Structure 1
């Protein structure tokens, strides 16, 4: 049977390439093993590298795992009406070491968004990017618009949003760029945005949750929640829930949630192990801007993971991304201390184009079609913190988020 080949994953002479007569297979619980058809033997170690690997992630949309009469696992591709004994997830495997990943990617931390999009024609695609008037949000939107996408710049400040739109149009007058008002600190504004977008009867192929708040003084939103938590998590959660039906009508569609490596340095549960709203939305006396940001970024990954679990059976996948270490962007503008820090390290930071690359990669790369629930850094899949991998925490955050919205907007949140 012919091996399954993923678009964008070219054949190479790398050390992972199988020797003649060998085949890569997987067990029911996800471990990879290797069959030698010449000697009729199997082994756990890769015949060239000697490494053990396991499969990462859920089956792509439309695939199902079955067992034949001999007890051998095979896979059914319902969309293309075919079967194979080769696990479609073998393109995304993890070495038997918690922190070292093998994704067979050709991109790295120096890759730009425009390099990823080279040769792509995205005409007919519709993408929403929140916080798209500046920083990596602007570069993400610009890069996609220059390749044919209709990009909706979802911005709190319409004047700055229109300035960003004109910059893109000056570069290519045929670009399809529109600006719509969205203030994630207001659930009412999120609802108005969703209603306005739906009224246009457009498809929605990609929703990029990019906007973020960092470093500002403690303040409550009009909904009575701490600003960082609502802008970075709850506003995006509500936005996705309101546009969920549009995403499902536009399948295959994707959600990209911009998180951060800073998610590793915090937790959101109390001493009893329960989700603590006082940690997520702290009182003024307990507020520390950086810690609030870290917690919101942990929420981003948990949200993306649970969103993918719920919607991937319906053709909507979600992945979380880290844009880059010490990214120099306007997110630092809320406090002079951050401004000074970013100025000192600016020679060692990524450009905005490099920072936008991972968001763009997860938004359009064909090899990720149907794959979600993952976390990417420098365009490569990696493991987030242990806390970010806990399914029970992701489910609890989802339930809490629904309750917070229900309490504030009632039946309109449905």
Structure 2
């Protein structure tokens, strides 16, 4: 059971300014195992920290093992008995993702929560080691492969959760309207970087939302709750990821940005709070599920299925 002192009926207790630790007030995550991608910087680092400080066993799935170990050492200075493990996982290489999942399963750990946090946003035209457009390959395909490989463990560990970090920008994916579900799915699976990078990013984030809702329909009966969220605009990542353009955007967006801990709050809330244990298949912003902020295209069941099927075809052709 998710343990919380003086548990009360679910109500809105957190919002835009809440930080990650606040959302777990009174929560004990001892005995829970979390696997998290992308924890070496940004909101992923705060997500891992908050969960570890609350007693969870945190497994970091990162490309940079040294940075992961440094992060683990930093958390251990705050909580000497924190349980943290590191598994190498390069999301730009599907074989690396598959190896990481196999390494996890070899440990015979349970898996109560899978947090798919890692992502790329870059103006540079890049492809993954498998030849996929980088936003699509890293933000979507690699995470679906990880889901494929770890679903049996999540089912065995139920009640369990999957948390996908998407973005408000999923709303700007520009999915063609007068097309079939298969054609829409094909549009969301670019095989080259001809579109501008913000459109490519938005498309990958729409893929996250569609995948979450597909998983909810498929896995909720198996005891797996699924959450997809917008973390907010983080006041360090814009400048880091987008260079000079990012600096200009940051000046305009600064009043609406969050700290890393505030940016991790919604992820941590969905991943660890007993408040939301039974609230599956929703889109979240600022620690609350809000259908009004969702692009309704993501609720199209036929598109969810078509994207899932097309993604599986791509994975099977490459791994």
TM-score (norm 1): 0.71
Do the aligned partners of 1:218 and 1:287 also contact (CA within 8 Å) in 2?
no
TM-score (norm 2): 0.92
Corresponding residue of 1:156: 63
Q: Deviations over 1:298-345 (max 9, x none)?
A: 110100000111111111111101101x22243653431344136424
Distance 1:268 1:406, change over 3 A: farther
Do the aligned partners of 2:188 and 2:204 also contact (CA within 8 Å) in 1?
no
Alignment of 1:5-44 (within 5 A): 8-10=7-9
Aligned match for 1:275, one of 179, 184, 191: 184
Distance 1:167 1:342, change over 3 A: farther
Distance 1:220 1:395, change over 3 A: same
Alignment of 1:315-334 (within 5 A): 315-324=223-232, 326-330=233-237, 332-334=239-241
Higher helix share: 2
Q: Deviations over 1:247-272 (max 9, x none)?
A: 00100000000011111112344752
Corresponding residue of 1:172: 79
Matched, 1:387 2:297: yes
- Aligned-residue Cα RMSD (Å) equals 1.8
Distance 1:147 1:366 in 2: 13
Distance 1:270 1:218 in 2: 27
Distance 1:281 1:158 in 2: 30
Q: Deviations over 1:119-145 (max 9, x none)?
A: 221111100110011110000000000
In structure 2, the residue corresponding to 1:247 is in which secondary structure?
A: helix
Shift of 1:185: 1.2
Shift of 1:234: 0.6
Aligned match for 1:262, one of 169, 177, 189: 169
Q: Which moved more, 1:373-382 or 1:341-350?
A: 341-350
Distance 2:229 2:94 in 1: 24
Matched, 1:224 2:134: no
Do the aligned partners of 2:239 and 2:250 also contact (CA within 8 Å) in 1?
no
Distance 1:123 1:334 in 2: 35
Matched, 1:198 2:105: yes
Distance 1:371 1:335 in 2: 35
Distance 1:374 1:331 in 2: 26
Do the aligned partners of 2:185 and 2:307 also contact (CA within 8 Å) in 1?
no
Any gaps of 5 or more consecutive residues in structure 1? 1-6, 11-90, 92-103, 410-414
In structure 1, the residue corresponding to 2:118 is in which secondary structure?
A: coil
Corresponding residue of 2:217: 309
Distance 1:335 1:170, change over 3 A: same
Corresponding residue of 1:403: 313
Distance 1:341 1:296 in 2: 24
In structure 2, the residue corresponding to 1:133 is in which secondary structure?
A: coil
Q: Deviations over 1:84-107 (max 9, x none)?
A: xxxxxxx7xxxxxxxxxxxx3111
Aligned match for 2:13, one of 106, 120, 123: 106
Do the aligned partners of 1:374 and 1:381 also contact (CA within 8 Å) in 2?
yes
Distance 2:176 2:137 in 1: 18
In structure 2, the residue corresponding to 1:280 is in which secondary structure?
A: coil
Higher relative contact order (CA 8 A, sep 6+): 2
Do the aligned partners of 1:280 and 1:292 also contact (CA within 8 Å) in 2?
no
Q: Provide the aligned length of Structure 1 versus Structure 2.
A: 309
Do the aligned partners of 2:159 and 2:223 also contact (CA within 8 Å) in 1?
yes
Any gaps of 5 or more consecutive residues in structure 2? 1-5
Q: Deviations over 1:342-392 (max 9, x none)?
A: 642445411111111111111122132233111010011111111111111
Do the aligned partners of 1:125 and 1:149 also contact (CA within 8 Å) in 2?
yes
Q: Which moved more, 1:208-217 or 1:136-145?
A: 208-217
Distance 1:331 1:244, change over 3 A: farther
Do the aligned partners of 1:214 and 1:331 also contact (CA within 8 Å) in 2?
no
